[in-house]
Amino acid sequence: MDWHNFWLLLHLLTFVYWVGADLGVFYSARLVVNSKYSFETRLQVLKLLGWVDMIPRYMLLLTFPIGLTLSYLVNSGPQSIILLMVVFLVFFLWIFLVFKIHKEDGSLLGLRLVKFDLFFRLLFIILLFLLCLLSIIIKFPFNQEWLIIKIILFSCTIICGVGIRITFKPFIEAFKELSLHGSSANVEEKMKRSLNHAVPFVIGIWVFAGLAAFIGLSHERLF
């Protein structure tokens, strides 16, 4: 078995389940803000959306260590197995954190974990940009232009993810209000506005992830 092909398949599947599953999330969100539906239906659709949305969340995190392993196999990234193992461990812990946030949704612990996750993401974005800058200057830890571009594009998807989280915050608050006091023009407007604000970031993720996939597929021809 060729391990490079195996990791390439895994990398492809993370992209497939990230962008492909996002489609259902995007469409379902439109139904949640549809005031013609009862609160119960909107809640259940939100739960469905929440479940499906976990897949892109896990995939976004998984794609990095898998991509890093591929960069190790093609001598484009850091050549250390120990580093790879550490990165995998960190990302598995991070995936567990995301899983826990989903399970603890609404609880005090859940809110604390969300803050921790956000902090971690901001740190990760800064780290990735610094590593890319370093790679441009001294060709380390990444020694290929296409890979640096891919990582910058990947960082942009995480930025968009943070953007979604920020723009979607009023939606969550409005939905809580809806659950407590029922529908009102103000609440409905708040939810719709919040969703509309999140749309450019969602499209941003699709575009940046699509471009990263394009670079991955075409780097042998383009660079």
The answer to whether 208 and 170 are in contact (CB under 8 A) is no
Contact pick of 33, 35, 40, 72 for other proteins (by CB under 8 A): 40
Contact pick of 35, 55, 97, 118 for other proteins (by CB under 8 A): 55
Stretch that binds other proteins, among 46-54, 101-109, 125-133, 171-179 (CB under 8 A): 46-54
Give whichever of 73 and 118 is closer to other proteins, judged by the CB atom. Answer: 73
- Per-residue interface string for the shown chain with other proteins, residues 159-188, x marking contact by CB under 8 A: ------------------------------
Closest-CA residue to 74 (of 138, 142, 173): 142
19 binds other proteins per the rule CB under 8 A: yes
Stretch that binds other proteins, among 82-90, 140-148, 164-172, 214-222 (CB under 8 A): 214-222
24 binds other proteins per the rule CB under 8 A: yes
DSSP assignment string, the chain: --HHHHHHHHHHHHHHHHHHHHHHHHHHHHHHT-TTS-HHHHHHHHHHHHHHHHHHHHHHHHHHHHHHHHHHHTTSS---HHHHHHHHHHHHHHHHHHHHHHHTTTSHHHHHHHHHHHHHHHHHHHHHHHHHHHHHHH--S---HHHHHHHHHHHHHHHHHHHHHHHHHHHHHHHHHHHHH---HHHHHHHHHHHHHHHHHHHHHHHHHHHHHHHHHHHHHH-
20 binds other proteins per the rule CB under 8 A: yes
15 binds other proteins per the rule CB under 8 A: yes
Residue 50: count other Cβ atoms within 10 Å of its Cβ: 13
Contact pick of 75, 108, 181, 221 for other proteins (by CB under 8 A): 221
211 binds other proteins per the rule CB under 8 A: no
86 binds other proteins per the rule CB under 8 A: no
Give whichever of 132 and 160 is closer to other proteins, judged by the CB atom. Answer: 160
Minimum distance, C-beta of residue 95 to other proteins, in the bound complex (Å): 17
Closest-CA residue to 25 (of 159, 124, 168): 168
Contact pick of 35, 48, 72, 207 for other proteins (by CB under 8 A): 48
Under the rule (CB under 8 A), what is the footprint of other proteins? 2, 5, 8-9, 12-13, 15-25, 27-28, 31, 37-38, 40-41, 44-45, 48, 51-52, 55, 210, 213-214, 217-218, 221-222
